[in-house]
Amino acid sequence: MALKDVRSGQRNEQGIETVLGLLKQQFGERFQTGQAFREQHAHTTTYLPSQLPDGVVFVETAEDVKAVVSACAAHKVPVIAFGTGSSLEGQVNAPSGGISIDFSRMNRVLQINAEDLDVVVEPGVTREQLNTELRDTGLFFPIDPGANASIGGMAATRASGTNAVRYGTMKDNVLALTVVTANGEEIRTAQRARKSSAGYDLTRLFVGSEGTLGVITSVTLRLQGIPEKIGGGVCAFPSVKAACDAVILTVQMGIPVARIELLDEMQMRACNAYSGLSYAEKPTLFVEFHGTEQTVALQAEQFTEIATECGGDSFSFTANAEERSRLWKARHDAYWASRALAPHLNGLSTDVCVPISRLADCVVETQADIQEHGYLAPIVGHAGDGNFHVLILFDDKDPEDVARAEAFVARLNTRALAMGGTCTGEHGIGQGKMSFLEQELGGAVDLMRSIKKGLDPENIFNPGKIFPMTMSLPNA
Amino acid sequence: MALKDVRSGQRNEQGIETVLGLLKQQFGERFQTGQAFREQHAHTTTYLPSQLPDGVVFVETAEDVKAVVSACAAHKVPVIAFGTGSSLEGQVNAPSGGISIDFSRMNRVLQINAEDLDVVVEPGVTREQLNTELRDTGLFFPIDPGANASIGGMAATRASGTNAVRYGTMKDNVLALTVVTANGEEIRTAQRARKSSAGYDLTRLFVGSEGTLGVITSVTLRLQGIPEKIGGGVCAFPSVKAACDAVILTVQMGIPVARIELLDEMQMRACNAYSGLSYAEKPTLFVEFHGTEQTVALQAEQFTEIATECGGDSFSFTANAEERSRLWKARHDAYWASRALAPHLNGLSTDVCVPISRLADCVVETQADIQEHGYLAPIVGHAGDGNFHVLILFDDKDPEDVARAEAFVARLNTRALAMGGTCTGEHGIGQGKMSFLEQELGGAVDLMRSIKKGLDPENIFNPGKIFPMTMSLPNA
């Protein structure tokens, strides 16, 4: 099924009209229906065309969220939660219209529990804001998906990023959520305790549910102590296979590497061109260690041995912060360097994740596919997790080029699934990957549908995401 | 509501009779209905009276499980999965009768993926068996709940134990499951990749669902490298508060302690008496570090500083394996030492978990409660997680003493909940804690019920656990 088909939705015009009136009355200036607002809340970093909501509510409290959800539930109108719009698979599009809930004003850090290494935040807090507010406590929130995403959005898409290899993903770092459910009430998924065996794990059911089961109103997060010392370095390898072997050995030896990123030859070429650098244009690992002076030095030494054994060039390493930033510059600029390869084209950032033993195979086969079809498509991987991204550049105005890009993504996913991998390590299903979810998990998707029907019988929460719009909206 | 009321169930006699006939025909000698078999499969380490299943199937393959579930589903007969029977809250009781699925013959290690640090096992594999089979790989499975439980059972109850502080609980260590669902089909919850954002997190929904949503037929687990060096030690403190302060500082400083166990004064007294030892009868921390020669020594040094700062006695530490076993003997014998305080009484092992900052308060208040009411009830805690157990000794033949024990558990749970804690850190809800689940999570339990209804509409999977028997069994 082509993407454009699974993305179509039907509108409940009468319900929407009623809700627009109700929300205008209740929220006044905090409810906006102007074109600019609507466009802004469908326009994301995704390659998928925008589908606009009918209005945007700027919520300030959980009570506001309850009011919006209650109104929408009563009239069977879609509700789409909006953090910062940095999702990549069309998660904030509104295929059936409806109301976008903007969380940018619901961005308070509610409770810092330094002794317990946790924090309670509203969903609109961004990760950079959180780390700024935490600075005096000696603690930090480690998950770093690249974008300055909102914590609510990161929880909803089960985000991770460069240092998941050490600190885990959102599933490992969310301790509890409050959520407004389909009946307009707020529930708490768990207490603040570090662990629990009390009933079904609703926290982890909502983490990664992409706004389809309810609207998150607060997030309790685990924190980490800011490392005394951070060291980082760069090492080029003769082949992707050699680089991946170094990653596998690093993980197997239990070196608690904080980040271990793989950039392929095309990505390194793009980075050199973009920033006037002179890295070797070979598969390269960017590595970071967190610890004390002693343990960082020890880890660097162990990694150097592994890199040498795997045929790597000499490992440029430093524990000096500025020097480390300079060394890591190519990694930080990877996205924009890639886009600069063809500034007139759009970029489709896709991701898969495979067991680490298959990472080299999957990357090498994907590079061959890219070369065979003549794509511009650099590869960046969170190698320690077996997760990698391809940014494929394509002309979104040319239907044939769109089809070519979609066909590439389909082949990539089929390849990853055949290796025991998943069609998305961290971007989520959204609109873009619905067919691959079926391909990946088959009958398990029926269970997901049962859960969706049980928790959101009228399909008001972010309809047309994760599952195609099979549950059509009844008219009010 | 008294426990005996929520534990009662109604029987679907006609359905049970039909299924007994079907299974006898299909499984022959592998299906047993004798009293001894039935008793063995309801008799667990729980304090709750046994409720016998009507028959026991010794399954050998997933096909067997599908056959049993299909027969039971067709005739609306309960299905109770049975690992080793080491659950503590009545999880394998059969309040409405039905069929116990015994997994002891479905105990193969199916796949060791050493490069990926994972393993695929059948549910009947026990954790000790698994570690024996892994010995040559340099890898191990870290979760240690004390009992030699089955991996299927550990997944079903979201088990953890002494080293969860370092390695996490079952929720962190199960990568994927296969499960037979209510329609008798087998689904896979996830691929083998380290992380995924593909749809709802069914893996973590089944982990901790206590057999109420389906029957697990295989478990994919993360493994860890066997540490090069293990060091351990013991340190007595002047008060529970001082010991807990040392734990908090250890966790805050990011010392990757592998185990940090708190034994209270009564527990230490029991251990001395049981094993003829001469530990100080003061709150005591038992600590273990995993790493290299260097890092273990470093961690021990850091912990010594913390312990001294918190007023601890000198920290007896050793990196010698035999010496460490000797030092840790009191911890290993804690359960039997406690039972020996009053060999004629039964023991009720209960558990709560609070944010670590409240651990001292919760333990101290609980000790005061124990003293005030004159219970024999030693305390052992997985202090790094804020999780602790009380083994309350009581006469299970004396209804008044049973009521006294139940009242103590109720006060303990209320105390933990008021501190932001949970009514169970690792034992689960089973039959014993259904009322506390409501008290802890309120409206969220309705969502759990919706999920249960969606995935198990006829309530055949372990009915009367987690939720009272409100969904009565229709007659066939």
Query: Is pLDDT above 60 for A62?
Result: yes
Candidates B126, B120, B121; CA nearest to B104 is B126
Q: Could you say which of A197, A200, A424 has the minimum Cβ distance to residue B205? A: A200
Write out the two tokens for A25.
């009355």
Q: Could you say which of B187, B387, B444 has the minimum Cβ distance to residue A195? A: B387
Nearest-CA distance A342 → chain B (Å) = 29
Nearest-CA distance B28 → chain A (Å) = 31
User: How many Å separate Cα B93 from the centre of its chain?
Assistant: 16
CB A204 to CB B205 under 8 A?
yes
Chain A residues in contact with B447 by the CB 8 A cut-off are 181, 187, 200, 202, 455
C-alpha angle with apex A121: A117 to A122, nearest 5 degrees?
Answer: 170
Q: How far apart are CA B169 and CA B163, in angstroms?
A: 9
CB A385 to CB B357 under 8 A?
no
Chain B residues in contact with A439 by the CB 8 A cut-off are none
Q: Chain B residue with minimal CA distance to A352?
A: B196
From A79-88, A324-333, B120-129, B183-192, the region with the lowest mean pLDDT: A324-333
Quickly state the pLDDT bin for A9 (edges 50, 70, 90). confident
Kindly report, residue by residue over A210-232, the tens digit of the pLDDT. 999 999 999 999 999 999 999 99
Q: Could you say which of A186, A198, A254 has the minimum Cβ distance to residue B422? A: A198
**E-only strand ranges, B228-307:** 229-236, 259-263, 284-291
Candidates B40, B121, B126; CA nearest to B83 is B126
Chain B residues in contact with A209 by the CB 8 A cut-off are 200
CB B443 to CB A187 under 8 A?
yes
For B391, phi and psi rounded to 5 degrees?
-100, 100
Q: How far apart are CA A365 and CA A358, in angstroms?
A: 11
Q: Does this complex have an ipTM over 0.85?
A: yes
* Contact criterion met (CB below 8 Å) for A79 and A69: yes
Specify the pLDDT at position B143: 97
- What is the three-class DSSP state of A46? coil
Helices A293-309 and B293-309, packing angle to 10 deg: 170
Placement of tokens 């886009």 in the chain:
A339
Quickly state the pLDDT bin for A254 (edges 50, 70, 90). confident
Instruction: Name the architecture of domain A229-335.
Output: 2-Layer Sandwich (3.30)
Disruptive mutation site among B87, B117, B197, B352 for chain A (greatest number of A CBs within 10 Å): B197
Domain A11-104 belongs in CATH node 3.30.43.10:
yes
Specify the pLDDT at position B254: 87
Q: What is the mean pLDDT of residues B66-84?
A: 98
Nearest-CA distance B276 → chain A (Å) = 35
From A40-54, A97-111, A189-203, B275-289, the region with the lowest mean pLDDT: A40-54
* Contact criterion met (CB below 8 Å) for B115 and A356: yes
Chain A residues in contact with B253 by the CB 8 A cut-off are 225
Nearest-CA distance A29 → chain B (Å) = 33
- Write the class of the CATH domain A342-434: alpha beta
Q: What is the mean pLDDT of residues A344-367?
A: 96
Q: CATH fold of B110-225, please?
A: 3.30.465
Domain limits of chain B? Answer: 3-104+440-455, 110-225, 228-428
For B126, phi and psi rounded to 5 degrees?
-90, 165
Chain B residues in contact with A385 by the CB 8 A cut-off are 194-195
DSSP assigned state of A208: T
Q: What is the mean pLDDT of residues A295-317?
A: 95
Chain A residues in contact with B213 by the CB 8 A cut-off are 200
A352-368 per-residue burial string, b: 16 or more CB within 10 A, e: under 16: bbbbbbbbbebbbbbbe
CB B466 to CB A357 under 8 A?
no
Quickly state the pLDDT bin for B470 (edges 50, 70, 90). low
Q: Is A26 exposed, middle or buried (0-12, 13-18, 19+ CB in 10 A)?
A: middle
Chain B residues in contact with A208 by the CB 8 A cut-off are 197, 199-201
Q: How far apart are CA B367 and CA B332, in angstroms?
A: 22
Q: How far apart are CA B374 and CA B156, in angstroms?
A: 35
Q: What is the mean pLDDT of residues A370-399?
A: 96
Specify the pLDDT at position B318: 93
Residue A357 to residues A390, A455, B361, Cα–Cα distance (Å): 19, 38, 47
Candidates B186, B105, B103; CA nearest to B152 is B103
The CATH superfamily holding the domain B228-428 is FAD-linked oxidases, C-terminal domain (3.40.462.10)
Query: Is pLDDT above 70 for A472?
Result: no
Listed in sequence order, the residues at least 6 apart from B26 whose beta carbon sits closer than 8 Å to its beta carbon are B67, B71
- What is the three-class DSSP state of B311? coil
Work out the percent of chain A whose per-residue pLDDT is above 90: 90
Q: Could you say which of A194, A197, A224 has the minimum Cβ distance to residue B158? A: A197
CB B115 to CB A188 under 8 A?
no
Helix (H) or strand (E) holding A267: helix A265-275
For B8, phi and psi rounded to 5 degrees?
-85, 145
Specify the pLDDT at position A6: 66
Q: What is the mean pLDDT of residues B210-218?
A: 98
From A281-290, A420-429, B44-53, B352-361, the region with the lowest mean pLDDT: B44-53
Q: How far apart are CA A377 and CA A371, in angstroms?
A: 9
Q: Could you say which of A199, A440, A466 has the minimum Cβ distance to residue B441? A: A199
Q: Could you say which of A225, A252, A445 has the minimum Cβ distance to residue B254? A: A225
Chain B residues in contact with A194 by the CB 8 A cut-off are 353, 355-356, 385-387
- Write the class of the CATH domain A109-225: alpha beta
Write out the two tokens for A31.
């409810």
Specify the pLDDT at position A420: 97
- Compute the radius of gyration of chain A from its Cα atoms: 22
For A345, phi and psi rounded to 5 degrees?
-100, 160
CB A424 to CB B196 under 8 A?
yes
Q: What is the mean pLDDT of residues B307-336?
A: 91
Residue A475 to residues A15, A98, A177, A456, Cα–Cα distance (Å): 7, 13, 32, 16
* Contact criterion met (CB below 8 Å) for A387 and A351: yes
Specify the pLDDT at position B6: 66
Q: Could you say which of A193, A445, A446 has the minimum Cβ distance to residue B422? A: A193
Q: How far apart are CA B388 and CA B266, in angstroms?
A: 14
CB A198 to CB B424 under 8 A?
yes
Write out the two tokens for B287.
């600590």
Specify the pLDDT at position A470: 62
Q: How far apart are CA B314 and CA B387, in angstroms?
A: 25
Q: How far apart are CA B72 and CA B23, in angstroms?
A: 10
Query: Is pLDDT above 50 for A474?
Result: no
Candidates A206, A149, A210, A197; CA nearest to A179 is A206
Q: Which residue has the higher pLDDT, A330 or B334?
A: B334
Q: What is the mean pLDDT of residues B8-15?
A: 91
Q: How far apart are CA B189 and CA B406, in angstroms?
A: 37
Q: How far apart are CA B147 and CA B336, in angstroms?
A: 13
Q: Could you say which of B187, B205, B387 has the minimum Cβ distance to residue A201? A: B205
Q: How far apart are CA A465 and CA A204, in angstroms?
A: 18
- What is chain A's length? 476
Specify the pLDDT at position A82: 98
Helix (H) or strand (E) holding B300: helix B293-309
CB B190 to CB A117 under 8 A?
no
Q: What is the mean pLDDT of residues B346-357?
A: 96
Alpha helices in A136-264 (DSSP H): 151-156, 164-167, 170-173, 202-206, 240-252
CB B116 to CB A425 under 8 A?
no
Quickly state the pLDDT bin for B1 (edges 50, 70, 90). very low
Nearest-CA distance B201 → chain A (Å) = 6
CB B425 to CB A193 under 8 A?
yes
Work out the percent of chain B whose per-residue pLDDT is above 70: 97
Specify the pLDDT at position B370: 98
Q: What is the mean pLDDT of residues A148-154?
A: 97
Kindly report, residue by residue over B247-304, the tens digit of the pLDDT. 999 998 889 999 999 999 999 999 999 999 999 999 999 999 999 998 899 999 999 9
Q: Could you say which of B158, B200, B256 has the minimum Cβ distance to residue A451? A: B200
CB B353 to CB A455 under 8 A?
no
Chain B residues in contact with A164 by the CB 8 A cut-off are 195
Kindly report, residue by residue over A445-458, the tens digit of the pLDDT. 999 999 999 999 99
Q: How far apart are CA A11 and CA A185, in angstroms?
A: 25
Other CB atoms within a 10 A radius of the CB of residue A231 amount to: 25
Query: Is pLDDT above 80 for B447?
Result: yes
Count interface pairs A-B at CB distance under 8 A: 275
Specify the pLDDT at position A3: 59
Nearest-CA distance B455 → chain A (Å) = 7
Query: Same CATH topology for A229-335 and A342-434?
Result: yes
Q: Could you say which of B116, B254, B433 has the minimum Cβ distance to residue A355? A: B116
Q: How far apart are CA A329 and CA A313, in angstroms?
A: 19
- Write the class of the CATH domain B3-104+440-455: alpha beta
